[in-house]
Amino acid sequence: MEGKRSSLSISIPSDLLRRIRELTLSILTNLSNGQSPVVQIDRFRNYCTETSGNCYCNCGISVGKELLTLQRECHTRRLDVLLRVLLVVQTLLQQNRHGSKRDIYYMHPTVFKEQSVVDRAINDICILLQCSRHNLNVVSVGNGMVMGWLKFSEAGRKFDCINNPNTAYPVPVHVEDVEIDIIGVARYILVVEKESVFQRLANDSFCTRNRCIVVTGRGYPDVPTRRFLRLLIEKLHLPAYCLVDCDPYGIDILTTYRFGSMQMAYDAKFLCVPEIRWLGVFPSEVEKYCLPQQCLLPLTREDKTRVEAMLLRCYLRREAPQWRFELDLLLSRGLKCEIEALSVQSLSFLSEEYLPSKIQGGVYI
């Protein structure tokens, strides 16, 4: 049985159930005939380190296949896990119910042993069934938050953020059930890396004064946050900016929003947000804003390794050369800082001066 990514996600439960039957029937037929079943899983990537520019990353094209067979012990375990998870997915689809990845893990914790084992099986199933994860009725526990000039509904529940634009609301988990109330009041969307900065902006009534929408994934964004952000941009046609720490992890989070993650490269075209622009904090701004030495930290060996690896990613060379320049500068100077370091100017400097001046002045890349 072969699984590869099609150009469109299949979202009709009956189609998915048919594919599940075909997959399991193929495996059972091989076993009944005394043959070892072979499951072919296409592999995808959203970047490579190819310097010639002749790569197919981010195009939804398979870059190879992985063959799972009972003739290898490690593959036997993976197939066991895959079939167990597939049975749960089938039940969810048949009963029109939803479950989290963590729910699935606790159904067979002694077999799965680690959450990552379940996560990998779910990704494999998405590729085999040619769908996105939400089509399986498998949802994430939402971490994201949103506030600002926005109205939306989720499965009939209405959320009027405009009445309290500086109050945090959870990002909806079932994004496919979300309807955005298209009202031309917000001027832009601001994505901030972490909750502490999100709360700082809320305390400063940033959304009230700037008529914007602010989203945070509270670190590396989960799938609902990325899907919700993409939906907002598609429906509202607003510019989107991203504010992250001036360190390797912050910049890596920025690339996850714009280009997607390697783990879910098979679904990158449905999750990435190519419109998003990097607003700061740039390594080149450390001197401009006169950040004192006590606000700066030396890059660790792990930091340097991460930056060096990021500099090799093809999408930065191809689509974001200015980001590579800033990464080079971060590496050469060997110093990093957090967004909160800007508060050395004043507690309200971020919301009252830094962000408005950069957005109005077009200082982003």
Q: Which residues are catalytic?
A: 106
Edge-to-edge order in the sheet of strand 189-192: 169-170, 145-148, 213-216, 189-192, 240-243, 277-280
Residues in the chain: 365
Q: Which tokens is 48 given? A: 């490579």
Q: Which tokens is 166 given? A: 């500086």
**Strand segments (E) across the chain:** 2-3, 38-43, 64-69, 99-100, 138-139, 145-148, 151-154, 157-160, 169-170, 178-180, 189-192, 213-216, 240-243, 277-280, 297-298, 335-336
Q: Which tokens is 13 given? A: 């439960």
Distance CA 304, CA 108 (A): 39
Question: Which candidate, 178, 107, 120, 115, places its Cα nearest to that of 144?
Answer: 178
CB of 327 within 8 A of CB of 304? no
Helix (H, G, I), strand (E, B) or coil at 19: helix
